[in-house]
């Protein structure tokens, strides 16, 4: 075929193919994959880029509130995670067995659950504030989930994303070291894809009993310490017996304005 392109003709004889011309009849027999990219494809690509920019700008606006920089290379992971959620792709819940539930006035004060041993992808972050640490840690895990792993594929989302936090000896200030962790969906539990980021490690966490209490809103040092104390109170635990570390479980993105969270105490053996 003529390297300068093809011409369309509504008719012509057998010489049409030799002269580099394509008849409409020939064009109709092409599959969609064989047709050159048209305006529709270009428009779709432009819309995809526009959506990527919109989502990135939203995350960057949220990041500025918490003094966190969201880099340009987060545009694709953010869009991929958002698109899969909007398409109704299931987010796998970390499996557990409910042991007991304590209620009062129609509300749940706390639940006792049992979690089996499982593999998690973990990254430890050390920032000035808790919010900065969870945002940076979650961005690293998003890259891992969205193809930056040895399989090269999207791994699927699971909830909650958990952060392991510790308190100082006064039990009033959170440690600067925060571990952010992602439960590997069931299809990856036997053989977790390796992270390309050396800061991320896959670990097997042992089985544990967990006391859980839900709360909503932002997660910062003040709200976490307050929720820790409330859970200790409803459990009837004196401060001296509080377990360390604790876990904050997040069921919504750190970029969400109003979050659904839980405080977890690991039962002391």
- Is residue 68 a contact partner of residue 45, using CB atoms and an 8 Å limit? no
% of residues, the chain, pLDDT over 90: 38
Q: Which pLDDT value is given to residue 211? A: 94
- For residue 210, give the 3-state DSSP assignment: strand
Looking at the predicted structure, is the pLDDT value of residue 13 above 60? no
**pTM of the predicted structure, to 2 decimals:** 0.74
Mean pLDDT along residues 151-170: 88
Which residues does residue 262 pair with via DSSP β-bridges, in sequence order?
Answer: 214, 249
Looking at the predicted structure, is the pLDDT value of residue 7 above 50? no
Tens of pLDDT, residue by residue over 117-157, are 999 999 999 988 888 888 889 889 999 998 899 999 999 99
For the 92-266 domain, the top CATH level (class) is: alpha beta
Tens of pLDDT, residue by residue over 220-253, are 888 898 898 899 889 887 665 566 789 999 998 7
Q: Tell which residue, 32, 255, 51, 263, has the closest CA to residue 139.
A: 255
Q: Which pLDDT value is given to residue 91? A: 83
What is the token pair recorded at 216? 């909503």
Q: Would you list the DSSP string of 53-94? A: HHHHHHHHHHHHHTT----GGGHHHHHHHHHHHHTTPPPEEP
Looking at the predicted structure, is the pLDDT value of residue 89 above 70? no
Looking at the predicted structure, is the pLDDT value of residue 43 above 70? no
Q: Which pLDDT value is given to residue 86? A: 59
Tens of pLDDT, residue by residue over 171-207, are 677 888 899 999 999 999 999 999 999 999 999 999 9
């Amino acid at each position: 075929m003529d390297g300068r392109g093809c011409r369309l003709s509504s008719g012509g004889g057998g010489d049409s193919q030799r002269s580099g011309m394509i008849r409409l009849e020939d064009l109709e027999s092409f599959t969609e994959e064989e047709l050159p990219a048209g305006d529709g494809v270009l428009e779709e690509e432009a819309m995809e880029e526009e959506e990527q920019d919109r989502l990135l700008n939203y995350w960057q606006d949220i990041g500025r509130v918490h003094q966190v920089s969201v880099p340009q290379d987060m545009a694709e992971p953010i869009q991929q995670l958002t698109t899969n959620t909007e398409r109704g792709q299931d987010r796998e819940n970390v499996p557990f067995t409910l042991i007991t539930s304590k209620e009062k006035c129609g509300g749940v004060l706390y639940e006792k659950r049992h979690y089996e041993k499982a593999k998690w992808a973990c990254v430890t972050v050390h920032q000035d504030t808790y919010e900065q640490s969870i945002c940076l840690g979650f961005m690293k895990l998003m890259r891992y989930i969205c193809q930056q792993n040895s399989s090269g594929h999207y791994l699927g989302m699971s909830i909650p994303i958990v952060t392991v936090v510790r308190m100082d000896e006064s039990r009033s200030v959170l440690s600067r070291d925060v571990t952010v962790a992602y439960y590997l969906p069931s299809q990856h539990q036997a053989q977790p894809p390796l992270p390309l980021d050396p800061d991320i490690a896959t670990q097997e966490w042992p089985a544990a009993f967990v006391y859980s209490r839900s709360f909503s809103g932002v997660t910062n040092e003040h709200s976490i310490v307050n929720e820790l104390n409330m859970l200790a109170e409803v459990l009837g635990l004196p401060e001296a017996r509080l377990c360390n570390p604790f876990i904050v479980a997040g069921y919504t993105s750190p970029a969400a304005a109003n979050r659904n969270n839980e405080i977890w105490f690991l039962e002391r053996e």
